[in-house]
Amino acid sequence: MVNLVECLAEVQHANRSLYRAFLLKEELRLLYQLDRPALAPEHLDAWLAWASRSKLEPFVKLARTADSTTPGQIKASRIPGAVHYVIAATAPIGRL
């Protein structure tokens, strides 16, 4: 069985954009697993800032759209469906 850490290290070297997209996706998933929900707005704001600077166009577009048009809790509820689109648009075909 392939070790996940080894696999991620290989992806990091072979396709940096895909690796950054994976990290962004995983960090966003953590938003829904926080032990203290009161930390969610700060976590989401930090994620949106990171995504908008990521140089991954689908993430940049998602972050800027969510940040500029949607307040607080609604913003968080709109992102999960879009993340699948972002990952699909960022991952080159045949490189997963």
Q: In the chain, where are the structural domains located?
A: 4-90
pLDDT tens digit sequence for 51-96: 999 999 989 988 888 766 555 544 555 455 554 444 444 445 444 4
DSSP codes joined into one string, 64-82: HHHHHH--HHHHHHHHHHH
The percent of residues in the chain predicted with pLDDT above 70, rounded, is: 67
Do residues 80 and 49 make contact, with C-beta atoms less than 8 angstroms apart? no
